[in-house]
Amino acid sequence: MSASPVLSVENLHLAYGKHEVVHGASFQLQQGSIACLLGPSGCGKTSILRAIAGFEPVRDGEIHFDGRRIAASDLHLAPEARRIGMVFQDYALFPHLTVADNIAFGLRDMDRAARAARVAEMLALIGLPDIGTRYPHELSGGQQQRIALARALAPHPALILLDEPFSNLDVDLRERLSLEVRDILKRAGTTAILVTHDQHEAFAMADEIGVMSEGRIRQWDTPYRLYHEPADRFVADFVGQGVFVKAEVLSRDSVRFELGELHASVPRQCDIGCERCERNCPIEVLLRPDDIIHDDASDTKAEVVAKAFRGSEFLYTLRLPSGQTVLSLVPSHHNHAIGEAIGIRLDVDHVVTFAS
């Protein structure tokens, strides 16, 4: 028997005036899990985070947290009564306070010795034990981000909310720091929700991800399943890289396209697109860059029309004889020129198809 969720969001509707920005969002979060709301700007993800924190009222639906109902159309528990910590996009550190005083800000109910001990514990947890006397302006962006996290964790919240916490950092630092923050949260045993538009951050940090668009959660799943088993075309397009190529149904468990035959169950989308899914029904196959393997021995050729150097790999854009293009990740010692024809073969473990 599974444990009760620490957070349950049920059919949540949020609005600013007459404009509804979240339409019936639902998800649950278990104790100690890290979740992410992932989507483009304006999709409603930050509004959900703010409603959980208590900064936005609920038009309809309910939020249950830590065994009690905290928000509904007829209920709004004050933010300070929710035992929820929040890390803001700009960190919101107090510039006139030392690092130690920033972390201790929410610990006013403790005596001085207990407060100092908790601050020291937090500094050790984030790997910065010796900077308690410094001020925020003396720290790097990555250090400030960890101090903001330590301040949010210090009062023992049951849930931490992180609103685009890495957006002010350069790209290389974002992914490394997101892994570090995940490790800190896991060691602290803290449940957390991250909001971001960056799938690399989401994949690095989260145990489960809700992909959002236009105020709706399109799929709530593990990162692996979002990438390999997207629920619809939006998720398939938004998560990872890939292209859709034309194909046709051969049978209930096989499809054929320009590069050969693939065996997989014809998905629900095909049944929606046709009166009945039958031979020659037109569909599209999603091909990821890791589905197309460079193989000099292959008789199947494709023309290099673009390439992006990524250090250990090239991302090639390849034109097939029909004119359709596909992507392929190739080790960078295979440095082919634009216009060159190279051998390719299929290696598709997860066949993802959609109705044309």
Per-range mean pLDDT, top range of 151-155, 248-252, 346-350: 151-155
Looking at per-residue confidence, does 25 or 277 come out higher? 25
Mean pLDDT of 147-151: 94
What is the DSSP code string of 98-155? -HHHHHGGG-TTS-HHHHHHHHHHHHHHTT-TT-TTS-GGGS-HHHHHHHHHHHHHTT
pLDDT in the model for residue 271: 53
Share of the chain above pLDDT 90, in %: 75
Mean pLDDT along residues 315-340:
94
Taking a C-beta distance cutoff of 8 angstroms, is the pair 73, 13 a contact?
Answer: no
CA distance 56 to 138: 34
Report residue 350's pLDDT band, with 50, 70 and 90 as the boundaries. confident
State residue 283's pLDDT score.
Answer: 86
pLDDT for position 1: 45
42 has pLDDT over 80: yes
Mean pLDDT across the chain, nearest whole number? 91
pTM for this model (two decimals): 0.89
Q: How confident is the model at residue 356 (pLDDT cuts 50, 70, 90)?
A: confident
Q: Measure Cα distances from 58 to 64, 77, 109, 161, 220 in Å.
A: 12, 11, 31, 18, 21
Instruction: Give the rounded distance of the alpha carbon of 117 from its chain centre.
Output: 34
pLDDT category of residue 168 using cuts at 50, 70 and 90: confident
- pLDDT level of residue 274 (50, 70, 90 thresholds): low
Residues of the chain above pLDDT 70, percent: 95
* Chain centre to alpha carbon of residue 71: 25
Residue 286 pLDDT greater than 70, yes or no:
yes
pLDDT reported for residue 254: 84
Look at residue 163 in the predicted model and tell me its pLDDT: 93
Q: 262 or 275, which is more confident?
A: 262
Give the mean pLDDT of 179-193. 94
